[in-house]
Structure 1
Amino acid sequence: MIIEDVSFPAGRHCETTTLGALLRHEGLDVSEPMLFGLGEGLGFVYWDAKNMDFPFLGGRTKPATITRTATDRLGVALHVQETASPRKAWRNVTAALDAGRPVGLQLDSYHLEYFTTKVHFGGHFAALRGYDDTHAHLIDTAQQGGAVKTTLTSLERARGERGPMTARNLSYTVTGPATPPDPATAIRAAVRDNARTFLNPPIANLGHRGIDKAARQVTRWLDRSTAPSHDLPLAATLMERGGTGGSLFRVMYRDFLAECATILDDDDLHLGHRLYAGIAPLWTEVAHHITTAGETGDPVHLGRASAILTDLAERERHAMRVLAGGHSE
């Protein structure tokens, strides 16, 4: 059972690629930046815990929240199922596939055979478009190969893994609306709410406060790591190429705002786009300095990364105030 007309060419981020593929099958062709923005996906987290080998810098909201928020904004019905039973989990997806609907899955990418880098990450997403006697056929990001397959056994392990960011065999399908909502209303609400969340984080590790914290902590990273030549470049690679679309999702959000500005003639949107067009390259500079520090062992580069992060915290705070409708130049 394989559904042929399921695709999302050139997808960069796993969750938006998965949602985009499901929506295209329903006849809704929405760009990836638009899905990310309508899903209020932009964020920041500085994550460091005792059981972690090295800190993690994240640029988006928690797994599955983009899907839930974007479908709500688009007026799309989202049907989510979770279960602790692998047998029931498989029945859930085969029932949808047999009815002609592709299925979104949350997975631990470590178990997927087409992944060349074996790292546990429980917040990965892919669209299941079918199966045969031995393999599951999936749509993943362009970086992972687009139309790919993995054995049914490995898929079961990927769905059932327990740990940070995992879900209990989570699967979901979408049903398109009879009448799509007004795009201007959806855009205004998504931009405003994302900005307000970013500006008012509940803890100091998130939002603009998290960027400030990262600026303070990053200078200690050579001492924090037992293998800085590995850990620092890996952290930088995740910022630039770990499914973020570049610059820790700031490139994707810049492109979202650019698309919004073609739909709405709004001064705050235009200004917000210009501000994020200036912000995005600075995140690439941060990643470069972190990589160089790891490769050379020279702490000067972490000092430079810290200074840029301090600047970024203020730049993003200002940009989000503009997008929240509070301030403009």
Structure 2
Amino acid sequence: MKIENLKPYSGEHCETTATGTLLRQLDIDLSEPMLFGLGEGLGFIFWNMKTMDFPFIGGRVKPDLLTENIAKNLNLELTVKETASTPKAWDNVKELIDKGQVVGLKLDCFYLEYFSKPFHFAGHYAALYGYDNENAFLVDTKQQGGQVQTSLKSLALARAEKGPMSSKNLYYTLHTTNKSFDLKTAIVTAIRNNATEYINPPITNIGYKGILKTSTEIIKWFKTSKNIEHEFGTSAMLMEKAGTGGALFRNLYRDFLKESYELLKLEKLKTAHEAFVEIAALWTSVSGLFDKVSQTKDIKYIQQASDTLKIISEKEKKTMELLSTI
């Protein structure tokens, strides 16, 4: 069983790709930067727990919140459900697919057979659009192959995995309501909300304060690392390509601001876009320095990354303060 007339979304980030596929079924087709911006997606977190192999550097709001914000700003109905029962979890989504409804899934990508370099990350998303007796058919990011498949057994493991950022077989659907949306109004609301949230972090490892904290924490991390090559190499890949850390999300937000300026013609948006052109490039240099650390194990590259993060923190704070006033 495969849903006919599927319009798979082609994106670089997992949650916008999954949610974009669900939105296309509602005949809402927006660019990935626009979805990220409407989802109030820009954020930052430095997360280090004893249960984790190495610290996590995240460049967006927490999992699940992006789609929630998109639904809110576009006046859509979002239904999110969880269950601890693996058989029930499958029966529930199978029933929706049988009715022709594309379903968003939250997964640990370690178990997905189409990942060439599996790693545990339980905040991954994909859209389910079909199944047969052995496999599930999914829409994932461009990097992972777009329309892909994995065995039903591996999908069940990916949905039920426990650990940081995991949920109990979470799945979600989107539906239209009797309220339409005005894109220009939605953009302004989303930017203000995102900026206000960003510049008022509740704890010091979030937002611009988190970036500043990371500038010192990465030096401690380097000095206590058990496997510099693996830890910093993986972190660099995640930041730049896999959609968790700084560079990818700054690229998306930069392009969102450009698209928003073209629609609204507000000078503050133009100024902020120009700032994020610089900021995104600085994040790419940080992930590049992490890569050099993994190859050379030389502390000088960590010190350079630390200095760059201090600059980024100040630039992002200043730019988001400007955006909070549009």
1:275-309 residue CA offsets vs partner (Å, 9 max, x unmatched): 11111000011111121122112211111111111
DSSP 3-state at the match of 1:100: coil
Q: Is residue 2:155 matched to residue 1:155?
A: yes
Instruction: Report the equivalent of 1:54.
Output: 54
What amino acid maps onto 1:27 in structure 2? D
Instruction: Report the equivalent of 2:219.
Output: 219
Query: 2-side partners of 1:16 and 1:291: how far apart?
Result: 26
The CA deviation string for residues 99-141 of structure 1, in whole angstroms up to 9 with x for no partner, is 1111111111111111122211111111000111111111111
Match of 1:42 in 2: 42
For structure 1, the 5+ residue unaligned runs are none
Which residue matches 2:318? 318
Give the equivalent residue in structure 1 for 2:101: 101
Aligned to 1:31: 31
The answer for the alignment partner of 2:252 in structure 1 is 252
Tell me the amino acid that sits aligned with residue 294 of structure 1. S
Post-superposition offset of 1:235: 1.0
Alpha-carbon distance in structure 2 between the residues aligned to 1:81 and 1:57: 28
Confirm or deny: 8 A CA contact 2:44 2:206 kept in the other structure.
Answer: yes
Query: How does the TM-score come out when normalised to structure 1?
Result: 0.95
Partner of 1:267: 267
**SS state at 2:57 partner:** strand
Contact kept in structure 2, 1:27 and 1:176, CA below 8 Å? no
**Other-structure match for 2:193:** 193
User: Identity, % of aligned pairs?
Assistant: 47
Contact 1:83–1:170 (CA under 8 A) maintained in structure 2: yes
Q: Is the CA contact 1:53–1:225 (under 8 Å) kept in the aligned structure 2?
A: no
Shift of 1:274: 1.0
CA contact (8 A) 1:54 1:224 kept: no
Tell me if the contact between 1:39 and 1:66 (Cα under 8 Å) persists in the aligned partners.
yes
- Look up the equivalent residue of 2:290 and give its one-letter code: I
Equivalence for 2:110: 110
Give, in whole Å, the separation in 1 of the partners of 2:231 and 2:261.
39
TM-score (ref. length: structure 2) = 0.96
* Alpha-carbon separation, structure 2, partners of 1:147 and 1:322: 40
The residue aligned with 1:84 is 84
Match of 2:144 in 1: 144
Q: Is the 8 A contact 2:58 2:244 kept in 1?
A: no
1:42-84 superposed Cα distances (whole Å, 9 cap, x missing partner) = 1001111222221121101111110111011111111111111
Mapped to 1, the partners of 2:19 and 2:194 lie a distance apart of 19
- Whether the 8 Å CA contact 2:60–2:245 is kept in 1: the answer is no
Q: Which runs of 5+ in 2 are unaligned?
A: none
Q: Would you say the 8 A contact 1:41–1:194 is kept in 2?
A: yes
Instruction: Give the superposition deviation at 1:12.
Output: 0.5
- What do the CA deviations read for 1:296-325 (whole angstroms, capped 9, x no partner)? 122111111111110110000000001001
- Quote the residue 2:12 is aligned against: 12
User: Structure 2 vs 1, CA of residues 31 and 245 (structure 1 numbering), >3 Å: closer, same or farther?
Assistant: farther
What SS does the corresponding residue of 1:229 show, helix, strand or coil?
A: helix
Do 1:40 and 1:190's aligned partners in 2 also have CA atoms closer than 8 Å? yes
In 2: Cα distance, 1:140 partner to 1:90 partner: 19
The alpha carbon displacement at 1:246 in A equals 7.1
Whole-Å separation in 2 of the counterparts to 1:218 and 1:3: 46
How many aligned positions are there?
A: 326
Give distance in 2, aligned partners of 1:187 and 1:64: 20
| Shift in Å, 1:92 | 1.4
Moved more, 220-229 or 315-324: 220-229
User: Take 1:222 and 1:167, find their aligned partners in 2: how far apart are those partners?
Assistant: 31
